[in-house]
Amino acid sequence: MHSGVANGGTATPFGLLMVTRSQSTVLDPAADAAALLRRIGFAMLVVAVPVAALVTRRAAVVMEPIGVALLVMAALLDGQARMLATVRRIVTSRAGLALLMLVAWAGLSLIWTRFPSTGGNKLVNIVGAIVLALAGTAALPERVRSSNLYLTGIGVAAAAVLAIALAMIDRPDDDPDATASLGRGLAGLALMVWPALAWLVSRQRNTLALALSAVAAVAVVAGTMPMAILAFAISAFIFGLTSIRPNIGIRVVSWGMAGIILAAPFMPFVLQPLVKLALGVAHPWTETMRAWTSIVRADPLRLITGYGFDASLRGRVAGEIPMSAPIGLPFEIWYELGLVGAVSLALALGWAAQRAAAAHAVLVPGIAAALTAGFVLACMGAGTAIAWWVTTLSITAIAFVAIERGQFRTSRPKARLWMAANDR
């Protein structure tokens, strides 16, 4: 402190300035270590995972726990996160309660499923992914630095460039793992591009957002994966619609997802004659509709309880249901968990979409587009690879929460002379 103040004298402006500057430059090793851990952990989630997922099958499953652990360690070091309050708020929300009901019903269905061992393992993976998502979300500080959030765009751009390069390389036909990894990576890209675009738009980096969306679109198209192309196209439409009319966009997403899930048992009876007329009797889609209707007619009472968790995939392998039976969320939720599971899922999806309307206004289009992309991918069978799929969903959710907590200011403060804030 200035000697004049210590001796009871009058403090000079220069003395006050020196006191302020010395206080603002005090080193805090714990805060610095927490910032570094948070940066590394977030980069592992939004940069390393999208890139590595294109070339290896286990990237997301291995990297997400490490990234979340780093975020939790950072939160424990600096104490900036209100972890218990965040978890309580998520779990007690309407969508959270519906999801808990769905998980509880899936666990109860292990009693009557013919495949309790594989179903139990699958359920453990899902619960683990949910716990990781809650931990990662709860570990985020109330204010997330912009420098961390720009990593979302960097990760998507790097993954898109790598996907384009891989698509230009001739892949051997006898290497299904490489093709599957590219497909999963492109599906993840079609999902994780939306938090990156939402952040850039919120910072008014519209040119960068347009360039990033163009690169992602080229990557998805170059990869020639119908699942990723369709998900990206439909979610892009929802993004545009919600940007113009937010209420209509959210209503379309919430009612659309819930309606498709609830109407799934009746869809094959409506679609079968249309598909047969348009594509012919021998077309695979016609066979799929025929198998779906036969399953519904075989035991209508099973539509109430379902055949048990994981019965769809294992029943197909065991020959209990035709190989031509559909894959994807609408069929699987009804076949495995019946009416209770379908209603729980429809409520969780609908309420999650409606909750998006309460987010920061500039983020609503991106959240709606991400929900749409995830739902389309799930309907087309992305959830079959359960570990990769739930992990990708978890990382996307963490990214959106981080972006919403990065909206604490709308403009960068101007530098002013003699202000201590300039030293931060």
pLDDT digits (tens, 9 = 90+) for 380-411: 888 766 778 888 899 999 999 999 988 865 44
- The band of 207, judged by pLDDT with boundaries at 50, 70 and 90, is very high
Helices 364-379 and 386-404 sit at what angle, rounded to 10 degrees?
170
The secondary element (H helix, E strand) that includes residue 102 is helix 94-108
Domain membership of residue 334 (yes or no) is yes
Residues 193-202 have pLDDT tens digits of 999 999 999 9
Domain membership of residue 305 (yes or no) is no
- The band of 170, judged by pLDDT with boundaries at 50, 70 and 90, is low
Distance CA 412, CA 146 (A): 10
The closest alpha carbon to 188, from 353, 49, 366, belongs to 49
Instruction: Please give the residue that has the higher pLDDT: either 56 or 332.
Output: 332
- The band of 5, judged by pLDDT with boundaries at 50, 70 and 90, is very low
Q: Are 64 and 132 in contact (CB under 8 A)?
A: yes
Give me the pLDDT at residue 159, please. 94
Give me the pLDDT at residue 19, please. 44
Exposure of 166 in the CB half-sphere (CA atoms within 13 A): 26
Domain membership of residue 47 (yes or no) is yes
Exposure of 64 in the CB half-sphere (CA atoms within 13 A): 30
Q: Output DSSP code: residue 423.
A: G
Q: Are 338 and 306 in contact (CB under 8 A)?
A: yes
Question: Which tokens sit at 317?
Answer: 């392998």
Amino acid letter at 46? V
Give me the pLDDT at residue 174, please. 52
Residues 12-70 have pLDDT tens digits of 444 444 444 444 445 677 788 888 999 999 999 999 999 988 888 777 788 889 999 99
**Stretch 84-111: mean pLDDT:** 91
Domain membership of residue 318 (yes or no) is no
**Residue 423, pLDDT above cutoff 80:** no
Amino acid letter at 57? R
Residues 135-159 have pLDDT tens digits of 999 999 888 888 899 999 999 999 9
Q: Are 244 and 205 in contact (CB under 8 A)?
A: no
Domain membership of residue 52 (yes or no) is yes
Give me the pLDDT at residue 9, please. 46
Give me the pLDDT at residue 4, please. 44
Alpha helices in 203-245 (DSSP H): 206-222, 226-244
Domain membership of residue 86 (yes or no) is yes
**Stretch 325-352: mean pLDDT:** 92
* pLDDT mean across residues, the chain: 84
Domain membership of residue 316 (yes or no) is no
Give me the pLDDT at residue 385, please. 60
pTM of the model: 0.86
Residue 225 structural domain: 29-266+325-404
Number of domains in the chain: 1
Q: Are 192 and 156 in contact (CB under 8 A)?
A: yes
**Stretch 206-222: mean pLDDT:** 94
- Supply φ then ψ for residue 14, to 5 degrees: -65, -40
Give me the pLDDT at residue 415, please. 39
**Residue 211, pLDDT above cutoff 70:** yes
Give me the pLDDT at residue 239, please. 95
Domain membership of residue 84 (yes or no) is yes
